[in-house]
Amino acid sequence: MSADERADLIATPCGANAATAVDFAAAFAVLPTPCVIFDAEFVVRAINEACLEAVGWARSDLVGRQVFAVFPDNPNDPGADGVRKLRDSLQQALETGAAHSMEVQRYDIAVPGSAGVFQERYWSVVDVPIVGADGVCSGFCTGVKTSRRCGWI
């Protein structure tokens, strides 16, 4: 798809005219599935309401920050490997140009405002590369299923 075709699709999806075009930012914000958009350096660029609810953090504490700095491995769990597995999934999506799904993964998250306190969490993630008309990956859209206990997903 050419850059012009992409621009037409964004401006007038599904043959709509400019007056009825879809506001994709508004649609992203209200998706019921938790989603986050990272740039190629894994900096959070957008996060929807469902994802904010899932992680319990404020948007202002996440947007503009590197995801692994905000959500490091739990230092109290010597077997924590969430950062490595998420980074590997993102890298695979980048290298293949295709979505990559992770199996259910324990990836504890820091409790906002509680230094050193982590909450046990389980996640199933799909990482989708965002590839521009030039074929270059500019970032990722990550969709998340979450549970406080394994087995819910």
Whether residue 139 has pLDDT greater than 80: yes
Whether residue 5 has pLDDT greater than 60: no
Contacts of residue 22, defined as CB under 8 A and 6 or more positions apart, other chains included, come to: 13, 14, 16
Determine phi and psi for 34, rounding to 5 degrees: -60, 130
Whether residue 132 has pLDDT greater than 90: no
Backbone Cα Rg of the chain: 17
Write out pLDDT tens, residues 79-123. 999 999 999 999 999 888 899 999 898 999 999 888 889 999 999
Residue 15: predicted pLDDT: 53
Q: Where are the domains of the chain?
A: 34-147
| Contact predicate 85/102, CB 8 Å | yes
Indicate the average pLDDT of the chain.
84
Distance CA 78, CA 64 (A): 29
Overall average pLDDT of the 17-39 stretch = 84
Q: Does domain 34-147 have CATH number 1.10.3720.10?
A: no
Residue keyed to tokens 């599935």? 33
Distance CA 142, CA 15 (A): 28
pTM for the structure as a whole: 0.79
Overall average pLDDT of the 56-61 stretch = 93
